[in-house]
Amino acid sequence: MKNIIEIKNLHKVYTGGTQALKGINLNVKEGEFCILLGLSGSGKTTFLRCLNRLIEPTSGEIIIDGENVIAAKGQKLRLIRRKIGMIFQQFNLIKNLSSLTNVLTGKLGYSSLLHSVVFSKNEKDVRIAMENLNRVSLKDLAENKIKNLSGGQQQRVAIARALMQNPKVILADEPVASLDPATADSVMKYLGDLNKKDKITIICSLHFLSLARKYGTRVVALKDGEIVFDGTPKEIDKKRFKEIYGEDAEEVEIR
């Protein structure tokens, strides 16, 4: 399998001097489900956001699907972003619009300026949006406003929105951190499904080791902006766990 993501010596220093990333080197192969572990503040969110330049990296090189992300500007950057779906901890949907409209916004990178500014709904796009909503089992709630949906349902709408982009890669920034364990597992199940059936490469930061073992094909752990572990989920034993999370940490089982 070829590398779909190649990261070389990625640094991020925030104004104020905080070194969030201290030289990350990482290659991700096509079709991997890569779990990011690490304490809050270890740089997971910064890392994920650097990949689609929601945060500007300070230095380094990022190649995604053969395209230089850091050098890209304007239209070029938007075309790269189009290939990268993103899922957020807080879902980041527009709360007073319907699920369907929210899903349709995933297609914006494909539509012409004029077409998208007028709120008209392209018939073909609507059909694809309904298919994607169906994929996350939310077809019946297409016309419901987001604010009337539960957390798990909202995250599934967000997944459907990412699917509209026809993405090669999905970046998921703690997608289940604000959900209960049972809902968390069901949301992860949809992500796992996209990974297996659609061969979408996924990088997903998590806090639950049990979910990492269940869905991840690879685990990368960050600590203070550096990679401290890179291997398979099975390799994480008690000792490794303490290396990542510190001496005092105990694994809490979540089922």
Partner 1 sequence: MKKENKLKLILKAIFTDMFIWVYISGSVSFLINHWFEVTIPGLHIVIYGSVVGVILMICGISVGRKMFLSTKRINKKWYKTFWGWSVVLILFITFIVGWILVEVNPYKFFTKFTNTSGIMSGIFNPNLDILIVSLTALAETIYLALLATIFAIPFAFILSFFAARNLMPKTLIGNLVYIIIRTFATVFRSIEAIVWAIIFSVWVGIGPFAGMLALMIHSIAALTKLYSEQIENIDYGPVEAIKATGANTLQIWVFGVIPQIISPFLAFTIYRWDINVRMATIVGFVGGGGIGLLLLQQQQLLRWHNVGMIIWLIAVVVWIMDMVSAKVREKLRGM
Contact call for residue 143 and partner 1 (CB under 8 A): no
Binding mask 13-52 for partner 1 (x = CB under 8 A): ---------------------------------------x
Stretch that binds partner 1, among 59-67, 100-108, 219-227, 231-239 (CB under 8 A): 100-108
Contact call for residue 86 and partner 1 (CB under 8 A): yes
Contact call for residue 70 and partner 1 (CB under 8 A): no
DSSP structure class, residue 251: P
* 84-to-34, 95, 161, 233, 255 alpha-carbon distances in Å: 15, 23, 12, 24, 30
CB contact set of 171 (below 8 Å; sequence gap of 6+): 48, 51, 52, 84, 85, 86, 87, 202, 203, 204
Contact call for residue 245 and partner 1 (CB under 8 A): no
Degrees, nearest 5: CA angle 108-123-166: 40
Binding-site size for partner 1 (CB under 8 A) equals 34
**Beta strand segments in the chain, E:** 3-13, 19-29, 33-37, 59-64, 67-68, 84-87, 169-172, 201-205, 218-223, 226-231
Of the candidates 13, 54, 72, 177, which one interacts with partner 1 according to CB under 8 A? Answer: 54
Stretch that binds partner 1, among 21-29, 60-68, 103-111, 131-139 (CB under 8 A): 103-111
Q: Which residues bind partner 1 (CB under 8 A)?
A: 52, 54, 75, 78-86, 88, 90-97, 105-110, 113, 116-117, 158, 161, 164-165
